[in-house]
Homo-oligomer: A and B are copies of this chain.
Amino acid sequence: MASRVYLALLHHPVYNKRGDVITTSITNLDIHDIARSSRTYDIEKLYFIHPAEAQQRLAGDILSYWQHGYGATYNADRKEALSIVHIKNTLADAVAEISSVCGKAPIIATTDARTFPNTVTYRQFRMEMEQADSPYLVLFGTGWGIERELMQSFDYILEPIMGRGDYNHLSVRAAAAIILDRLLGQKWW
């Protein structure tokens, strides 16, 4: 049985370069790229979490253009990808919606460059998802990472993606694509 998997991109509370808790802006290409990757890996919904009404409206306008405006006729594949995108005020709102649809709260996993007591490998997490019948929410931070206290409330931390060598600064768009492929892609290996 295929797990119901949700994705979310968190714009608040996250750190800036100096360690202050801030709110980052929504990036147009995050919406497009992560929606296309999410749709390819059959994600139920992709949430963008942002507390500011102006940013929610901006994201709403982008979605509307590709869903109902000229974009929808120009590129039907894009329309389909963006149909799974939803904007929420807070992470709690997204979790509440998933819980209500699925009848149980999602198991939440995020990524971090550091190792925690609840760090899991991709193999472990993929196997758990294949067997469990809970919904899953894979959460991505923006800026310089998710605020510490919120971070500690998650069920799992996925281990950092290592390439070859020790440079490890993927964009969130690239990291999300790789993680979707590791967790949900065909077994190509």
Q: A residues within 8 Å of B by Cβ? A: 2, 29, 32-33, 36-37, 39-42, 77-78, 80-81, 121-123, 126, 161-165, 167-171, 173-178, 180-182, 184-189
> Is there an interface contact between A42 and B165, defined as CB atoms closer than 8 Å?
yes
Closest residue of chain B to A32 (Cβ to Cβ) is B171
> Is there an interface contact between B178 and A36, defined as CB atoms closer than 8 Å?
no
> Is there an interface contact between A161 and B181, defined as CB atoms closer than 8 Å?
yes
> Is there an interface contact between A122 and B188, defined as CB atoms closer than 8 Å?
yes
How far, in whole Å, are A14 and B187 apart by their CA atoms in the complex?
A: 31
Chain B CB count within 10 A is highest, among A37, A80, A171, A176, for A171
If A174-B37, A174-B173, A174-B177 touch, whether A188 touches B42 (CB-CB below 8 Å) is no
